[in-house]
Amino acid sequence: MALNLVMLGPPGAGKGTQAERFARDHGIPKVSTGDILREAVHSGSELGVAVKELMARGELVGDDLITGIVRERLSRPDAVAGFVLDGFPRTAFQATALDEILAERGPVICVEIQVPDEELVRRVRSRRVCEDCGANADAFEHKLGALPDLCQNTERCRSIGPKWVARSDDSEAVVRERLKIYWRDTKPMIDFYKSRPTFRVIDGLQTPEQVREALVSAVASALGMPASQLRSMVMKKLSGVHVPPRGVRQG
Ligand code: AP5
């Protein structure tokens, strides 16, 4: 059975953190629209040039553009047996398009992580990422001022030196703009998913480990099985599967 998981929630809720862990633990790709766009900006591609300013202001990029990117990414062979989608959909247009893209592809589990706004602002303002590979420094684990000297994510990061930076859209003013857009455009779209039997909500104020466990339970319950059954299904599948290294930008 395909494991199609959509992570929903506001900026800073922990979608990326949990999507990455879930994808790694379950041997499926993490598809993050934010990561794809940031990689494009980083590489200076045509797409990156087109979206750079919009992203820095915290605005959404065009529905058609981002939907085309997701459609292409989910059509690749590695996503056929499942995926974790992070950052998409964000508007009613995108939600409708996703239904169309995923028609005939098995159940789609939607999990919303809920966190109060002030905690979101705190988290996002303290977030640091590796300027080279985009990996999150996990500021909540290392605390600012006590970050490991070098990003440990790739050989290149380990050799070129420390480059922990704030994301260009993580200033307080831009985060508040992103939250405004979230409450205006995305939250009503999430409410639309609530009536579906595979929709679940998680309390994102728990520790990352607790959220991780809650996510596994939520997915298992949406699939109508105990978490232990999901785990053993995954263990069977993972024997022999190559799992990509943690936090590497995916495009
Ligand atoms: P995107 O990258 O998707 O940003 P976002 O949705 O605003 O989410 P964030 O990445 O800020 O937060 P997150 O929920 O992933 O939290 P994280 O795990 O990092 O999008 C960026 C931009 O791209 C958009 O503004 C837009 O311009 C464009 N874009 C992307 N998708 C688009 C689309 N579909 N349509 C149009 N435009 C699109 O965690 C945050 C911090 O908290 C981290 O430091 C983490 O370590 C920490 N943390 C995580 N969990 C916990 C916990 N349980 N307790 C304490 N700290 C925690």
Cα-to-centroid distance, 115 and ligand 1 (Å): 12
**Full-model pTM:** 0.92
Catalytic site includes residue 52:
no
Q: Residue 239 has what pLDDT?
A: 75
Interval 156-196: pLDDT, tens: 888 887 788 999 999 999 999 999 999 999 999 998 899 99
3 state SS of 110: strand
Q: Residue 148 has what pLDDT?
A: 74
- Ligand 1 within 6 A of 13 CB? yes
- Ligand 1 within 6 A of 164 CB? no
Which of 66, 118, 123 has the most ligand 1 atoms within 8 A of CB, as the residue to mutate?
A: 123
Q: What residue ranges of the chain have pLDDT lower than 70?
A: 139-146, 240-251
- Gap between the Cα atoms of 241 and 251, Å rounded: 20
- Ligand 1 within 6 A of 34 CB? yes
Q: Please spell the DSSP secondary structure of 134-162, one letter per residue.
A: --B--HHHH-TT---SS--SSHHHHHH--
- Ligand 1 within 6 A of 22 CB? no
Q: Residue 140 has what pLDDT?
A: 53
